[in-house]
Amino acid sequence: MAADALSRVFSALADPTRRDMVARLAVADATVNQLAEPYDVTVQAVSKHLKVLQDAGLVSRSRDAQRRPVHLEAEVFDLMTKWIERYRRQAEERYRRLDDVLRSMPDDVDPIPPTSTGVSR
Partner DNA sequence: CTTTTGCTCAACCAATCGGTTGAACAAGGA
Partner DNA sequence: TCCTTGTTCAACCGATTGGTTGAGCAAAAG
CB nearer DNA, residue 23 or residue 105 = 23
CB nearer DNA, residue 67 or residue 77 = 67
Asked if 33 touches DNA (CB under 7 A), the answer is: yes
Cα atoms in the 13 Å half-sphere on the side-chain side of 34: 12
Q: Residue count of the chain, please give it.
A: 121
Spatial CA neighbour of 22 closest among 33, 41, 9? 9
Q: What, of DNA, its own copies, none, does residue 45 touch, CB below 5 to 8 Å by kind?
A: DNA
Q: Taking the complex as a whole, how short is the minimal distance between the CB of residue 22 and DNA, in angstroms?
A: 13
Q: What, of its own copies, DNA, none, does residue 27 touch, CB below 5 to 8 Å by kind?
A: its own copies
Task: Please name the helix (run of DSSP H) or strand (run of DSSP E) that holds residue 108, with its range, or none.
Answer: none
Q: Contact 12/18 with Cβ under 8 angstroms?
A: yes
Query: Per-residue string for binding with its own copies, 1-30, x by CB under 8 A?
Result: -x-x-xx--xx-xxxx--x--xx-xxxx--
